[in-house]
Structure 1
Amino acid sequence: MAKVSPLVALPPLVFAAMAALFYFGMFRDDPDALPSAVAGAPAPDVALTPLGDKPGFDRAALDAPGVKLVNFWASWCAPCRVEHPKLEQLAAEGLPIYGVNYKDEPDKALAFLRDLGDPYVAVGADATGRTALDWGLYGVPETYVIDGDGTVILRFAGPITESVLASTIRPAIEAASR
């Protein structure tokens, strides 16, 4: 009789372990949530360059009284185009939104705002991605709700849709208002 190697059992064991990880991973509280190192902490500094003749902003603007949003975006980002009408809606309601143009060409970024509208009270360019790193950015678009003390209440990765606006952004704005 031929001797069977103990390594024959390795593939089924690896498969069983991976299946268990996937199974238990399905029952996490929010499987789509990405962890944020800045939520609940003071908003990180911003080191941005001017974008055309648009007004810029700094850390002091984020510490000013009142709820505000910080939105990371780029002209080359298709989901940024999807969420843009929701940002315009929030800006029309009087919510200050600060824009961070991420690793973009200035002419294309300015054309994006000219063509789709400019919801930002101030905007700056993060050509090197340094500010994005400080904020823990996963990718664009990404939006942060900041309270009147400059504390990050919520970090939302992905485009703001109608359902995200109702279920996530507006409740965070309400919480930041307290």
Structure 2
Amino acid sequence: MAKISPLMIAPPAIFAGLAALFFIGMNRDDPDALPSMLIGKQVPTVEGLQPLSGTELLTDEVLQGPGIKLVNFWGTWCVACRAEHPTLLVIEDILPVTLHGVNFDDTKAKAEKYLAEEGNPFTTLGEASTTRTKIDWGVYGAPETFVIDEDGTVLYRFAGPITSRVIETTIGPIVAEALAD
């Protein structure tokens, strides 16, 4: 009887395992959603953010304050952030929220120049000069936006650029539900 080498079985077994993982991943409720461990929990700290000229610094007290808040993580190097910027400029006119920003993986000079040229949509803002804030919030990339309720609880995390469609179908209904509670 001929022996079958484990090296002959390994490639098909690895392929079958990967195919199973892809199949499971594609059949999730929302295959585009990135999970966040923060949903339903208090916002992480933003201490350590550095101020950007012309805008009040984003602090922990602001995030625990009244009203529904959006916290947008962005950078001037991010093409999708630049694409969502016009929407951010008018979001407070569309939704009853305040918009706060965290600039990361960027330089202070580039961020300040960009906001001076393109407009500053943020009520408060901070520059993350280390990766600590990004790690604490579980940010994978940019842009990412968090919806925070009046108690400082994270209601939702949206990864990707905010568009009018995202406001209409995703963020708007979450804000409306939070205000109704």
TM-score by length of 2: 0.90
Q: Distance in 1 between matches of 2:51 and 2:148?
A: 22
The answer for unaligned runs of 5 or more in structure 2 is none
Q: Could you say what secondary structure the match of 1:84 adopts?
A: helix
Aligned AA for 2:164?
E
Q: Indicate the residue corresponding to 1:42 in structure 2.
A: 42
Q: Indicate the residue corresponding to 1:82 in structure 2.
A: 83
The answer for unaligned runs of 5 or more in structure 1 is none
Q: Indicate the residue corresponding to 2:14 in structure 1.
A: 14
Q: Distance in 1 between matches of 2:3 and 2:37?
A: 50
Q: Could you say what secondary structure the match of 1:176 adopts?
A: helix
For residues 13-35 of structure 1, give each alpha carbon's deviation from its aligned partner in whole angstroms, at most 9, with x where no partner exists: 32223223322332111111111
Q: Indicate the residue corresponding to 1:5 in structure 2.
A: 4
For residues 113-152 of structure 1, give each alpha carbon's deviation from its aligned partner in whole angstroms, at most 9, with x where no partner exists: 1122111111111011211111111111110111111111
The Cα shift of 1:57 comes to 2.2
Q: Distance in 2 between matches of 1:17 and 1:124?
A: 44
Q: Indicate the residue corresponding to 1:152 in structure 2.
A: 154
Question: Identity of counterpart residues, as a percentage?
Answer: 47
Q: Distance in 1 between matches of 2:23 and 2:144?
A: 29
Which residue of the other structure, out of 154, 161, 164, is the alignment partner of 1:162? 164
Aligned pairs, number: 177
Q: Indicate the residue corresponding to 1:99 in structure 2.
A: 101
Q: Is the 8 A contact 1:146 1:176 kept in 2?
A: no
Give the root-mean-square deviation of aligned CA atoms. Answer: 1.7
Q: Distance in 2 between matches of 1:96 and 1:24?
A: 38
Q: Is the 8 A contact 1:91 1:120 kept in 2?
A: no
The Cα shift of 1:4 comes to 4.7
The Cα shift of 1:161 comes to 1.8
